[in-house]
Structure formats: structure tokens, C-alpha cells
């Protein structure tokens, strides 16, 4: 094969299926991908550097923007790290409210992904159906937190205001199973969808672990690793992590659909508990002169796109000395180098889409 027959192709940065701005530099021999080089950084906002300039309280509203589809998780992470450092004990109701919001956010995020993934593959109608359901969740978020996406709902030691109305959510949970059935009817047995995803983008467990892949992508490769099982927020809930061993794009899709019902199971239990714990107790936080003791703090959570964690090094000042985020998508983007090699160009979109990459999370 001579050099001249190779084609260099830029996929992105404005490609509709990159869910943000990701540029993939592909080297093609005909239709076959010989190498893939992801080029990230188009959405870099300096989230980590910004933390060093702002106090903890000032920084908290900004972290929702790390992953705008799952903002609650990053709020929770920062709150959790700070609460660990100050040894703040959360009241039971706060914990339940946080669990409800996190799981609703996970459902919203997965719903968006299902729609967007199908859109990548050329199916337009499921996009509208999943967005219709996601809208219910966002409306609820707006009602409780005041905004649809940048919720800024969690504060250190509590939540901004009580969860006062759960009727919408109960209603949503009751219609969700029928909607999931609808998706399954449209998508699961569709021969075009199956052909484009079955046995495409095989991610064997070893590559996944070596590549730092976590979350649904890892569980769809047959490894049972769900941080929620050990998380203190989810301690008293009964749920089973979804583990599938298809290893391909199709089982990654299935795993996310199954997770919808698993999450709604958690929310249902949480709503029950919410009725029994009516007292909302917030830990008092003084807005000025809020400091962490000297030391290093770390905490992690199972975000929709894999393990997310936050590291803070504090030198007893109002601002962190260093703050670092670990996000799931970053590792998924890196995996594209390996997973796209040797596949065909028309599968590249399906494979990249199936990893649920979101770019603000990668570029931070």
C-alpha cells in the first residue's frame, strides 16, 4: 500500500454526531480507518483553573456546566468533597432529595443519549419521543430549582429548597414503562438499527479496563462495576446494576435503556422514604470566610458517563490550591484511537456515538 492512496479526513469539529465539538483526524485507506486521532479542547473553559480564583461558594454554580446534561452529579461531587473535608453530616431528607434528583438527571441524560444516538444513525423520530419525556423531567427541575439545566440546587450541607411537590414525578414514573416499551418497539427489533450496531465497536473488557473506561460502557462489556452499590447515598436502595456481555454498540444501547427502569426503581423507593422523613435540616454555611482545613480530599460518584471524581488540595484558604476533575467521557474519547482502528468509516459514527461522549466534560 503506498502512502499516496491514503486519505486524511477531518470528522468534525462541527459534525452533528459529535455532540459538541470533537474533531477526529482519520486516516483512511478506501473506506477503512487506519488510524484515528481525536483532537479535543474546543470547549475548554478552564474549569479547573477557575476554581483557584474563586471561593468554594462562588465556584459551586459553575460546576453544573462541566457536563450540562448531568449537572447535578458534578454539583453533588463538589458538595460531597467539601462536606467530607468539613465532616458535615447530611440529614436523611437531604440525602433522599439528592438521590431523587441525581437519578432523575440520569434518566434525562440517558433519554437524550438514546435520541441523539438514533439521530446519528439516521432515525429522526425517536429523537422527538425521548425529548418529549425528557421535557417532563426538565420542567420538574425548573419548578424545583428555578432553571432547566444549570440547576445550582445543591449547596454545601444541604439543598437550596425543599422538594415540595413530587406529583409530577410520580406521574412521570408511571408513564415511563410504557414509553420505554415504545422505544423498544421502534428501535430494538428494527433490522437497520441491529445491522448498524450489532457486533460493531467491540470493546473487550481488557481494553476497557486498561483504557480507564467506566460506567455503562464498561458494564456493557460484561464487567460488574457500579459505584452506586458502594455509594452512601444509595446504601438503602434495592437495585441491580445492569451488566450485559454483548461488548458491542447494541448492548451499550440496551444497557442504557435498561438503566432507565433501574433508575426509576430507585426513585420510587426514594419517594416512599421521602414521605417518612419530613424534616429538612441544612448544615449552616457562612458565605464569607468559608474555608476547608488543610489537606487533600477526594470523592467519586457514578455519573451517567462513567466514574466522575473530584480532588481538592486545600491550603486553608478560601480558595482551593488545586482542584481536579475526572470525567468519564475523557477516557471514552481516548478509546476512539483503538476502537475505530480497522473499522469502516460508516461504522465510525455509530461506534463513537455509542460511547456517549459529551465534549464539555472532556475539555472542561
Partner 1 sequence: MFNKIFGLLTSMSTVFKHLFKKPVTLEYPEKKIIPPENFRGKPYVENCIKCMTCTKVCPTGAITIEENEFNINLNKCIFCGNCAYYCPVKAIKMSRDYELGVSNKEELNLVYDIKRGSDNV
Q: Which residues sit at the interface with partner 1, rule CB under 8 A?
A: 54-55, 57-62, 125, 129, 132, 135, 142-147, 150, 152, 155, 160-161, 182, 185-187, 189-192, 194, 287-288
- Rounded least distance, CB 98 to partner 1, Å: 17
DSSP string over 78-143: HHHHHHHHHTPPPPHHHHHHHHHHHHHHHHHHHHHHHHHHHHHTT--HHHHHHHHHHHHHHHHHHH
CB 140 within 8 A of CB 172: yes
Task: Tell me the closest approach of the beta carbon of residue 152 to partner 1, in angstroms.
Answer: 5
Q: Whole-number minimum distance, CB 21 to partner 1, in Å?
A: 21
Q: Helix 345-354 and helix 249-276: axis angle, to 10°?
A: 20
What minimum distance in Å lies between the beta carbon of 78 and partner 1? 13
Omega into 114 within 30° of 0, i.e. cis? no
H/E stretch holding 29 reads strand 23-29
Backbone angles phi, psi at 242, to 5 degrees: -80, 115
148 versus 265: smaller Cβ distance to partner 1: 148
Whether 325 and 364 have beta carbons less than 8 Å apart is answered as yes
Angstrom distances, CA of residue 159 to CA of 98, 207, 282, 284, 325: 8, 39, 7, 11, 22
Q: Would you say 89 or 135 has its CB closer to partner 1?
A: 135
Instruction: Give whole-number Cα distances, 282 to 154, 156, 307, in Å.
Output: 11, 9, 27
What does the radius of gyration of the chain's CA atoms come to, in whole angstroms? 21
Integer angstrom CA distances of residue 59 from 51, 53, 127, 142, 180: 6, 9, 34, 21, 37
DSSP state of 344: B
Alpha-carbon distance 15 to 165, whole Å? 40
Dihedral in degrees, nearest 10, Cα atoms 105, 111, 116, 122: 180
Identity of the residue, 146 or 295, whose beta carbon is nearer to partner 1 in the bound complex: 146
The total number of residues written for the chain in this structure: 364
- How open is the CA angle 261-266-271, to the nearest 5 degrees? 120
Residue 323 Cβ vs partner 1, minimum distance, rounded to whole Å: 14
Can you tell me the distance from the alpha carbon of 42 to that of 54, in angstroms, rounded to the nearest whole number? 23
List CB contacts of 347: < 8 A, sequence separation 6 or more. Answer: 196, 200, 201
| Minimum distance from residue 104 beta carbon to partner 1 (Å) | 16
Name which of 135 and 236 has its Cβ closer to partner 1.
135
Q: How far is the CB of 282 from partner 1 (least distance, A)?
A: 11
CB of 62 to partner 1, least distance (A): 6
Distance in Å, CB of 8 to partner 1, minimum: 37
Question: Least distance in Å: CB of 332 to partner 1?
Answer: 28
Amino acid at each position: 500500500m503506498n502512502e499516496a492512496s491514503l486519505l486524511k479526513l477531518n470528522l468534525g469539529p462541527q459534525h452533528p454526531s459529535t455532540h459538541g465539538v470533537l474533531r477526529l483526524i482519520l486516516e483512511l485507506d478506501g473506506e477503512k480507518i487506519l488510524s484515528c486521532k481525536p483532537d479535543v479542547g474546543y470547549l475548554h473553559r478552564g474549569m479547573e483553573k477557575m476554581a483557584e480564583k474563586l471561593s468554594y461558594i462562588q465556584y459551586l454554580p459553575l460546576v453544573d456546566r462541566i457536563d450540562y446534561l448531568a449537572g447535578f452529579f458534578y454539583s453533588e461531587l463538589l458538595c460531597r468533597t467539601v462536606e467530607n473535608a468539613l465532616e458535615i453530616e447530611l440529614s436523611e431528607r437531604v440525602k433522599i432529595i439528592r438521590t431523587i434528583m441525581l437519578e432523575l438527571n440520569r434518566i434525562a441524560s440517558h433519554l437524550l443519549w438514546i435520541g441523539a444516538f438514533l439521530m446519528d444513525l439516521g432515525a429522526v423520530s425517536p429523537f422527538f419521543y425521548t425529548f418529549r419525556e425528557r421535557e417532563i423531567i426538565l420542567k420538574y427541575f425548573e419548578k424545583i430549582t428555578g432553571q432547566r439545566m444549570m440547576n445550582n440546587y445543591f449547596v454545601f450541607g444541604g439543598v437550596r429548597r425543599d422538594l415540595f411537590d413530587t406529583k409530577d414525578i410520580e406521574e412521570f414514573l408511571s408513564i415511563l414503562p410504557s414509553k420505554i416499551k415504545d422505544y423498544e418497539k421502534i428501535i430494538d427489533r428494527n433490522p437497520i438499527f441491529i445491522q448498524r450496531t450489532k457486533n460493531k465497536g467491540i470493546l473487550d473488557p481488557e481494553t476497557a479496563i486498561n483504557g480507564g473506561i467506566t460506567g455503562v460502557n464498561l458494564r456493557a462489556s460484561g464487567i460488574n462495576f457500579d459505584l452506586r452499590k458502594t455509594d452512601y447515598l444509595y446504601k438503602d436502595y434495592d437495585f441491580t446494576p445492569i451488566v450485559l456481555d454483548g461488548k458491542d454498540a447494541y448492548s451499550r444501547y440496551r444497557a442504557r435503556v435498561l438503566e432507565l427502569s433501574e433508575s426509576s426503581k430507585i426513585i420510587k423507593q426514594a419517594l416512599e422514604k421521602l414521605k417518612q422523613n419530613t424534616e429538612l435540616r441544612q448544615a449552616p454555611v457562612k458565605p464569607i470566610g468559608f474555608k476547608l482545613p488543610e489537606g487533600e480530599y477526594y470523592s467519586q460518584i457514578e455519573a451517567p458517563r462513567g466514574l466522575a471524581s473530584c480532588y481538592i488540595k486545600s491550603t486553608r484558604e478560601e480558595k482551593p490550591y488545586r482542584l481536579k476533575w475526572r470525567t468519564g467521557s475523557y477516557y471514552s474519547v481516548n478509546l476512539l484511537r483503538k476502537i475505530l482502528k480497522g473499522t469502516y468509516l460508516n461504522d465510525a459514527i455509530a461506534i463513537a456515538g455509542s460511547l456517549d461522549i459529551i465534549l464539555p466534560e472532556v475539555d472542561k
